[in-house]
Amino acid sequence: MDLKTTDNSWVNKFPKPLIIAGPCSAESESQMLETATRIKATSAEVPIFRAGIWKPRTKPNGFEGVGVIGLNWLKKVKEEFGFQTATEVANAHHVVAALAADVDILWIGARSTVNPFTVQEIAEALKGTNKPVLVKNPVNPDLALWIGALERLLSQDVKNLGVIHRGFSTYRKTKYRNIPNWQIALDFRNQYPNIPMLVDPSHICGNRTGLAAIAQEALNVGYDGMIIETHADPDAAWSDAAQQITPEVLADLINKLQLRNSDISAFDDEMDRHRTLISDLDFQLIELLSHRMKISEQIGMLKKENSIAIFQPDRWKIITEYANQKADETGMSQEFIEKVFKAIHEESIEVQNKL
Ligand code: PEP
Ligand code: MN
């Protein structure tokens, strides 16, 4: 069996979208039980309860998880409320302890996925398990590493697989804690449509305000569900306080999600028509760009023959001005048009440089 043919029946046993919720970290028995009680009391359908038992923290001496004692609390959550349970494993000891405590679903964290030695160790410890194992994307934008982690699991006969898109680190501060880089996840999806994919809005956003939008976007592109950090008292959480939400806020978020059907057969014809038009316009755009580049090449020759600098700031200023004006007239965002023209202009300069 290879990754393309693993079956995803484990995920089909859950309602769609599959929601995994629970605190970033298990902190105490009462925190776990209160969070579980309140999730259960809402109208939202949450079949799986998450909690980190061992926490990968950026700096030492902080709270690094309660350790194995937390596994008893997960067990209680399962027995008293009927949730399935999920936790992160980051080495072979974690795997042994989590399997012994009968945690139902395990995930490999983003900081572990980057390290092939770690993934190999975890995979070997999991050998042959039927429990679903979810692999978070590595913190760096490396699709091959993400796929490699799944291949390591599969080669140890771990067949019930899934992935979690939790965003990617950047040095530059953005509005996200980890930028989504949707293209990487969608490339994964294109290559392995059979492997269930969840989104982790909590670690993408790093705050509470962006969660709903990310969750909805993921559903719009056909993800199977999500994992969302949920805590009885988010502000007092021992880790990731800023991004956790209460069970009641979670329920509200879930109830507002709109599920899209990935089966478009019902309006196939209309969709086909629109797509034909779009493709036609795309071809025209490319033709126009090619035409523009050829003219740019002629300008480049003139500049070369007359020893004129390739980049002419005055000319670029004029282009930006008319592009902005046209953007306004046609109701498009100036920001978008500027991006497009920057790319075109850069390519023009490149073409002229090559002469
Ligand atoms: C987590 O889910 O709490 C976690 C540590 O996530 P990540 O591995 O995505 O940072
Ligand atoms: Mn967290």
pLDDT, tens digit (0-9, with 9 covering 90-100), for 180-234: 998 899 889 989 999 999 999 999 999 999 999 999 999 988 899 999 999 999 9
31, pLDDT greater than 90: yes
CA atoms within 13 A on the CB side of 190: 7
Whether 203 is in the pocket of ligand 1, judged by its Cβ within 6 Å, is: yes
- CA 216 to CA 67: how far, in whole Å? 34
Question: Distance from the CA of 117 to the center of ligand 2, in angstroms?
Answer: 23
Nearest CA, atom 1, ligand 1: 24
Locate the ligand 1 atom nearest the alpha carbon of residue 203 and give its number.
Answer: 9
Among the atoms of ligand 1, which is closest to the Cα of residue 166?
A: 9
Question: How far away, in angstroms, is 345 Cα from ligand 2 center?
Answer: 42
Q: Is 24 in the pocket of ligand 1 (CB under 6 A)?
A: yes
Confidence grade of residue 102 (pLDDT, cut at 50, 70, 90): very high
Q: How far apart are CA 14 and CA 168, in angstroms?
A: 28
Is there an atom of ligand 1 within 6 Å of 109 CB?
yes
Q: What is the pTM of this model?
A: 0.80
Is residue 166 within 6 Å of ligand 1 at its C-beta? yes
Backbone angles phi, psi at 39, to 5 degrees: -65, -45
57 touches ligand 1 (CB under 6 Å)? no
Q: Which tens digit of pLDDT belongs to each residue from 317-329?
A: 999 999 999 999 9
The atom number, within ligand 1, closest to the CA of 56 reads: 5
Which residues have CB under 8 Å from 242's CB, separation 6+?
A: 206, 207, 208
Q: What is the number of the ligand 1 atom nearest to the C-alpha of 111?
A: 8
pLDDT tens per residue across span 236-280: 999 999 999 999 999 999 999 998 776 667 777 777 778 878 887
What gap in Å lies between CA 203 and CA 55, rounded to an integer?
A: 14
How do 161-165 and 197-199 pair as beta strands?
parallel
The whole-chain average pLDDT of the chain stands at 94
- Ligand 2 centroid–CA 57 distance in Å is 9
- Give SS3 for 225: strand
How far is residue 159's CA from residue 284's CA, in Å, rounded to a whole number? 46
- Give CA–CA dist 274/266, Å, rounded: 15
| Smallest-distance ligand from the CA of 106 | 1
Angle at 79 between CA 90 and CA 18, to 5 degrees: 60
Q: Which domains does the chain have, with CATH numbers?
A: 3-256 (3.20.20.70), 266-353 (1.20.59.10)
Nearest CA to ligand 1 atom 2: 24
Which ligand 1 atom sits closest to the C-alpha of 55?
5
Q: Report the nearest-CA residue for atom 6 of ligand 1.
A: 109
Asked if residue 122 has pLDDT above 80, the reply is: yes
Q: Are 77 and 32 in contact (CB under 8 A)?
A: yes
Within its chain, how far is the Cα of 272 from the centroid?
A: 29
Tell the residue nearest (CA) to atom 4 of ligand 1.
Answer: 109
CA-nearest residue, atom 3 of ligand 1: 24
Largest Cα–Cα distance in the chain?
83
pLDDT score of 41 more than 80: yes
Could you tell me where the DSSP H helices lie in the chain? Answer: 9-12, 29-41, 69-81, 92-100, 110-113, 116-126, 143-154, 182-191, 201-205, 211-220, 247-256, 268-305, 313-330, 334-354
Answer positive or negative: Cα dihedral of 264, 159, 182, 59. positive
Ligand 1 neighbourhood includes 94 CB (under 6 angstroms): no
Which DSSP state fits 179? B
Instruction: For residues 61 and 12, give the distance between their C-alpha atoms in angstroms, rounded to a whole number.
Output: 41
pLDDT bin (cut points 50, 70, 90) of residue 173 is confident
Position 262 scores a pLDDT of: 64
* 162 within 8 A of 134, measured Cβ to Cβ: yes
